[in-house]
Chain A
C-alpha cells in the first residue's frame, strides 16, 4: 500500500484523520524515538550539504576564499565539459530508452501466460551490483570477436553480407613470379595464351585456409585462353617442395580473384576454382595478371565498442539492461490499475491494438511514465560504477560523467574545491524533484 502511494498510483485508504497520539506521549519520549535518526541524518546528510556549499567557494588547498573560481572551472575545463555533455546525453537517452522498453515489455507480457518469468529475467539485473554488471559488459563489449559476444554477433552479421577476405597474410615466397603492388600482387612478366601461368603464394595459416580448398592442380594449356593455377606453394612439414609448381598436398586458393591488366586497365577477370585453376579469355593475352588487394584485406574485426566515440552509448546500453526491468515493473503495476472496460470499449469501437495502445493505454499511464522517467533521470545523474568499470583507461576521459569527475577531482587529483562545486551542481539539479516530492507528500500528510 505504501508502495502504491509512492509510485504515484492513487493512494490507498486514507490515513486516520488527525492522527493524534494514541498514547498521549510525553515529548521526551518522542525525542528519544527520533534522536538516532535525526542525529545521523544531520551529521551524514545535512551537514555535508552545507559543508559542500562552503567548500565549493574555498580553494583546493582549503586555505582561503576562491569565490566562484571552482564553478568557473566546472563550466570551462575541457574535461568537466566533456563530462557535462555526456551527462546530458545520459539524462536524455538512458531514461527514455529504459522507459520505452519498460512500457513495451509491460504491455506485451500482459498477454502472455509466462509473462512473470519474462519479467523475472528482465528485472534480475536490478539485484546485482553495477560492478558486476560492469564486468559483465566489459566482457560483452570485448574488441576481440573471439571473446566479446557483441562483436562476435556483429562480425558474423557483417560477414554474411560482405564476405571477409579469404587470404590475409598471403604473400609471394622466394623466387616468385609475383611482386607486390598496391596491397595486392602482380606478375613480373606478361602472360600468353596457351602457356599455363603459375601464381604461387605462401603464408596462409592452415586453419585459415578456406574449407573448400582442394589439392592444387597444374592447369592444362588451352589454345586461345590464358590458364593457370594459384595455390599455396607450401605444405606444413614438407616445406616448399618443388618451387613454382603444385606438389601433392599443396592446396589451391579457391575464390582468389585474378585480374588481367593491360596498360593500367582491367581487361578480364575471373576467380580461381577449388583446385586453384583459372581460365581467362583471349583478351588476357599479353597482359599482366594481378591478384587485387581485396583478396588480402585483414579480416573484419568488428566495432570498437569501447573506443572514444561509442563508449558512452555502449555504457548506456549496459545501464538500460539493468534498469529497463525497473521501468517495466512500475509500469506493469500502473497498467494493472487501468480499467479493462476502457480498453475493451475502444476495441469494440474498432480500434486496432496499436490505436488502443497509442490513444488509450499510454495516456492513461502518463503519470506513471513520468514518475519512472524522473526517477531514472535522478538515478542517471549518480551513475558512477558503470562508467568507472566499463570504460577502459584509454577512453575513460571520453566516457566521463559528473559523478565520476567528482570522484577523480576529489580523491585522485586532490581538488576538493572543484569536486565540491560539482557536488553542489549535482544537488541543484535534483532540487526540483526534491520540491516536487515535498509538495506531493504535503498533501498526503495533511489528509
Chain B
C-alpha cells in the first residue's frame, strides 16, 4: 500500500497537497466500514420491533410452532385475526378509550396552566419571582414514586382514587415543573418591544397572553404538548396505582396479561402494537418538536 502511494505521488507531484492514494483508500474503506456498521446497528435496533409486529400478525398456533422470522419463507401465514379478536374485546377497547380520556386532558391542562405560570414568571413582576421559579424548577427531578403513597391516601380521602380525573391531576402536577421551566425560558426571549407595542394598543394582561405570547410560544408549546402527550400515553406506573378496573388505560390492561406470558402472545403482541401506534404516529409526524422537547427535558 505504501509503495503504491509513494509511486503515485512521485508520478503526479501536482496532487501532492491532496491526501496520498493510500490514505484515500483507507478513508474510502473506513467510510464503507462505517456504512456497513451503521446498517447492521440499524437493523439490530429494528429487529425487536419487527419481531413484535410480525408476532402480532401470526396466529397463536403458528407462534407456538415456530419463530416469527420463519414468516419470511411463508408470508401467507400473516393474518389480522389476533387484532380482530382483540378489538372485539370490550375491556381492551374501553381501556384504549380511557387512555385517550386521560392523555388529552392531562396534556391540555399542563399546557394551559404551564403557559400561564411561565408567562407570569417571564414577564410579570412580583416579590421573590425568581426564587419561586427556582423552587418550581427544583421539582423537576422529583421521582414520581415519592408521591405514590401520599397521593393514594389523599385521593382516597377526597374520593378521587380510581377516577380518571385523579390520574389526570397527578400527571398534570408532575408535568408542570417541566412545562413551567420550558415555557418561561421560551417566553422570556420574546422581544420586549412586541409586548410593549401590544400594551400600548391597549391590550390587557389576558389579551396580551392569548394574542401575543401564546402564538409566539408556538414551537415551545408544541414541544411541551408532544412530550407530555407521549409521557402520559406511555405511563403505566401512575395508572397502575390510581385506576381501578373500569378506568384503567391500555398499559394497565395489558400488564395484567404479562403475568401469564407465553400462552397469550396473541393478546400481548397486537395489544402492545396498538398501544404503540399513536405514539409512533405522533413521533414521526412531529420529530422535530419531540426532539427539542426531549432535549429540553434533559434535566427531568
Listed in ascending order, the chain A residues whose CB lies under 8 Å from chain B are 1-8, 12-13, 15-16, 19-23, 25, 27, 29-31, 33-34, 36-38, 40-41, 43-49, 51-52, 55, 105, 108-109, 111-112, 115, 117-118, 120-132, 134-140, 145-149, 152, 321, 326, 329-330, 333, 353, 371-372, 375, 378, 381-382, 384-385, 388-389, 392-393, 403, 406-407, 410-411, 416, 419-420, 422-424, 426-427, 430, 433-434, 437-438, 441-442, 444-446
Contacts and interface: CB of A to CB of B under 8 A. Distances in A.
Given A40-B173, A375-B299, A392-B261, A438 B234 contact: no
Interface stretch (B3-11, B78-86, B89-97, B276-284): B276-284
20 contacts: A15-B189, A21-B123, A23-B124, A34-B116, A45-B142, A52-B149, A105-B38, A121-B45, A121-B46, A124-B283, A125-B49, A126-B283, A131-B234, A131-B272, A132-B276, A152-B67, A375-B299, A423-B149, A434-B140, A441-B137
B169 A48 contact: no
Given A136-B272, A147-B67, A7 B52 contact: no
A114 to B, nearest CB: 8
B2 interface: no
Given A23-B124, A44-B172, A136-B48, 20 more contacts: A20-B125, A25-B125, A27-B126, A30-B126, A33-B120, A33-B209, A36-B113, A38-B117, A41-B173, A45-B147, A105-B38, A105-B41, A122-B41, A132-B276, A147-B63, A147-B64, A321-B45, A410-B152, A437-B141, A438-B134
The 7 closest A-B pairs by CB, nearest first: A44-B173, A129-B234, A127-B283, A37-B117, A48-B147, A48-B150, A21-B125
B272 A108 contact: no
A103 to B, nearest CB: 13
Contact of A15 (B151, B188, B233, B300): B188
A108 B42 CA distance: 12
Contacts of A19: 122-123, 188, 192
A4 B280 CA distance: 25
B287 A120 contact: yes
A45 B173 contact: yes
Contacts of B255: 131, 388-389
A381 B143 CA distance: 8
Contacts of A8: 298
A127 B113 CA distance: 24
Interface string B286-300: 010011111111111
A44 B41 contact: no
Decide if the interface of chain B is mainly helix, strand, loop or mixed: helix
B228 to A, nearest CB: 13
Nearest to A135: B272
Contacts of A393: 259
B164 interface: no
Contacts of A423: 143, 145-146, 148-149
A384 B67 contact: no
A7 B254 contact: no
A131 B138 contact: no
Interface of B: 30-31, 34-35, 37-38, 41-42, 45-49, 51-52, 55, 63-69, 113-114, 116-117, 119-126, 130, 132-134, 136-154, 169-170, 172-174, 176-177, 180-182, 185-186, 188-189, 192, 195-196, 199, 205, 208-209, 220, 223, 230, 233-237, 240-241, 251, 254-255, 258-259, 261, 265, 268-269, 271-273, 275-276, 279-280, 282-283, 287, 290-300
B38 A51 contact: no
Given A105-B41, A329-B291, A410-B149, A135 B254 contact: yes
Given A21-B123, A147-B67, A427-B146, A41 B136 contact: yes
A131 B38 CA distance: 27
A52 B282 CA distance: 36
B184 to A, nearest CB: 9
B124 A30 contact: yes
Contacts of A33: 116-117, 119-120, 124, 205, 209
A427 B258 CA distance: 30
B284 to A, nearest CB: 8
Contact of B176 (A41, A444, A446): A41
A149 B69 contact: yes
Nearest to B186: A2
Given A41-B139, A136-B272, A437-B137, A129 B147 contact: no
Nearest to A368: B298
A44 B134 contact: no
A22 B205 CA distance: 10
A344 to B, nearest CB: 13
Nearest to B63: A147
A432 to B, nearest CB: 10
Given A33-B120, A129-B233, A135-B52, A384 B276 contact: no
Contacts of A115: 38
B130 to A, nearest CB: 5
Given A37-B117, A41-B177, A124-B280, A3 B37 contact: no
A3 B295 contact: yes
A446 B130 contact: yes
B87 to A, nearest CB: 17
A115 B220 CA distance: 26
A5 B241 contact: no
A122 B137 contact: no
A3 B251 contact: no
Nearest to A406: B145
B150 A127 contact: no
- Residue among B34, B241, B280 having the largest count of chain A Cβ atoms under 10 Å: B34
Contacts of B236: 129-131, 384-385, 388
Given A16-B192, A426-B146, A437-B137, A36 B295 contact: no
A368 to B, nearest CB: 9
B40 to A, nearest CB: 11
A44 B147 contact: yes
Given A23-B124, A40-B172, A372 B298 contact: yes
Given A112-B38, A149-B67, A353 B251 contact: no
A327 to B, nearest CB: 10
B263 to A, nearest CB: 12
A2 B182 contact: yes
- Residue among B35, B150, B176 having the largest count of chain A Cβ atoms under 10 Å: B150
Contacts of B67: 145-149, 152
